[in-house]
Structure 1
Amino acid sequence: MTSVTFTPDVGGDNITIDDSDSATTGLGNGGHRTRFMIALAQFMKVVVWVKATAQTVLGYRDAAATSASQALTYAGLAQSAAGVPSYAGKGNQVMTVNPGATGVQWTNAPNLSVMTLTHTQPLVRYMESDQAGAVGVFQTQVEGGAYALLRNTAAARDFSTNVAEHQVNSAGRHLFGGGADNNTDKFQFQGDLMVNGYLKASLNVTLTSDVRVKRDIVTIEDGLGMVERMHGRRYTRSDIGDGRVHVGVIAQELREVLPEAVIEGADGLLSVDYGTLGPVLIEAVKALSLRVRQLEGDRV
């Protein structure tokens, strides 16, 4: 059996019509003669309900549009009442507190060629997204009157551990490589320094030579013999192509005589600490001086 109930929630009178022989609800066995009009009337009530509901929905839509328009109007009035300037014609501008701190004003967007950060500890953090772990994370900051470039060393990329690769303290001294300030020198480096070119000094280059930092001190023996086995050379450089004729020693030759003066780099190339030759030359000159005095009969 098939039945249809015209319920009140869609405009009906809660009347049920079916295809049975029921004397009250059925359309079968001649019942359609008496109940068809009832069913049709219920159907029309449903249609009327649908129409009324649609009109109500459209009314809500129109009311919502009106409300949105009114909201914009009210927002503009609220802006005016609060001393907030109008949005009109303010593209590419930002709202800031006015100089008197009594309200707000529109100002031109910051020029990114000159950006000022004002804070008790202003900082900028750089995180390379295609790297993982501690790699590719740096931070520049100003704190306590000093500038620092920090390199993150924490796997969590949160700077819980880091190295201050470059600092400029309040006294204007520059610290490179995470070293401690010696409170004296303008530029201080911690670690090795590679210069691909000429290193020039208008005054002098010095090495720490204080006895307080030296141990196992012995006098160089056979300085003259070592000098006799060394060779001074003239040569040109194939790696820099400066066209100059240089004077010096060959690291491989010197290593056979004075290995302490030869340093092997990470790239396998040998370099020479020419300052190390000085003490050897001192002892060689002393030995020659002794021979001269002996030959002159002035024995010591």
Structure 2
Amino acid sequence: VTAGGATVTAGGLTVTAGGLTVTTGGLTVTTGGASIAGATTIGAATTISAGGLSVTGGVTVVDVGATITAGGLTVTNGGASISDNTATNTLTVANTAGSSFTGTVLSMTAASGSTGYSFIDAKAGSTSVFTVADTGKTTIAAGGLLVSDGGATVTAGGLTVTAGGASIAGATTIGAATTISAGGLSVTGGITVVNGGLTVSLGDVAVSATTASSTSTNGTLNGSDRRLKTAIENIQSSQDIIERLRPVTFEWRRDEFRSRNFPNGVFPGFIADEVQEILPDLVHEDGDGWKSLNYVGLVPHLVRSVQEMQAQLAQMQLQIDALQAHSWVGHDVTFLLLHMGLTVEAADGAASIASYLDREWPLEALQGDEKDVQRRRDLLKEWFVRFHSRYEVMAQLSDRYGGEHWDVLRDELLPESKPSSGGKCPLGFGAKVVNNVVSRKSTDVDKLRTIMFQGRCYDVMDSRLFRPEGGQFAHFVGHNVTYALAVQSTRVEDLDVTPERAYTFEEQLMLEKYRSFFARELVVLEIEEHHKGNDSQNEVVNLHAVIEESDSMAQELSIQNLQKALANASVEQVDEVCIRTTMTPLHKAVEKHRLDLVTLLVHAGADFGARAALYDDETPLEMARRFQFDDIVAHLESVAVGSK
């Protein structure tokens, strides 16, 4: 048919051999479609305008591919399989509509009610790489997940990493709870908790690298190796810094800042804004203006402040030791001692200390705040114990120091004392016991009722304590009672005992109480002829008395008196320890700051290595150093070098 075409109105057209070739105009089937039972090759464009194309044996596109311009492609059964070993893109689904497109480029729908299938199952060979299950669960079996732009947002369910951990190289913001059940979290760029704090609900946080700080099961550790630091300098002073800091207690504003998960309760601490004005390096301010405080940075300043206070206390003690043996003698020091125990300014120097001597302590000052009253009471008790163990007491507390608290204290330390007005020194610093001394011949002494106590002979004839009928100490008459009273014994076996050891502090205090009592109640007998008793303590007391009396006589006369006493004393007696003070005569000469007497005693063989128990076992040389008596120190050091 060369022109005009051909129309077959019934029965169709059957070509049994040779095929059918349409050279121009194409082939148009207007109704009924076309049924092709065998292989069909279409060399040019073919348009099927109605009814579609039904291919029973499949369609093979040999070249240039297949383009569907409208209506799309629907595969109703059997699925679609696309395979090729040369094409760059095996299957491409693209939208060419531009910005006006609002539909879906690729849509996959499964019949409702179906379960257990996969939307996507991507494999490399036989190995599964990527699957999307019917539940939406997505599994990346190999290669991991790379999000190059826009980040990843998990809106619900959180992020769970079950193995292998998570490696985050750049900045990461986690807005909700994140649970890492195994493998841990590895962050190479550090972690900044901007808001809400960090909560570890189970276990500990450990940082194993060499960093500025780390936390382990034993607490927080801070890098402190010298090799990590430079520009190391001493902190010169921190007392002013510590005084300016304001420690507070506070509660967190939990209702206003719920996201920060503040704990409930009252906490001690500081206000970062206030600390910033004093130690700005310890306060950090984040991008939102919130301030945090490095509490660990306060520790060096606290340590330095304590060191400064220790040095000041040591200096105060040196000043007290240096001044108490000289400028205080003959004065009422009660006000001074109580004031120095409560304030530091009183120890600034000799001038300020002198201004507190002989001042009354008003009665109203002993009342008021209970803590202050107790503190003053404790201070006075402390000084009582010190002085009564080393010095004799001239008078007890005067009326101006009366009151219930002081009466209780006086009864504790001085059971037999009574308040008396006009006493010069209530604490008795540097004063001697005022004894009633009566001279008696040795022949008369044998007829009296007497006792020996600390090397002195006391007449007990008129004392109710020593009466033959009912006297508590009646059996003490005629004996040396020093040891028995020191150990609080009434046994006959403890009379006339000379101990081979030094008396303890408590025993010294007890002897001091009895000495004070005997000074008021008994008469001391001064024997005109040499007493034949075997108590060598008489010579010791006399030797100490010579040195004690040197303050009241001219220097030449005091030297002569000591020379005379040393001429009649043995070497053992020169070093005899006074039971009351535990000092040797050489200690006493050092305490008086008498280099001339020290020289005489050393020349007589005095032991400059002897120790005084009640003076912290000081040697005469150590005592001279404490008092800063440079002339005596130089002399004793030269003697020590010569003896070696």
The TM-score with structure 1 as length reference comes to: 0.49
Higher normalized strand content (fraction of residues)? 1
Query: Between Structure 1 and Structure 2, whose CA radius of gyration is higher?
Result: 2
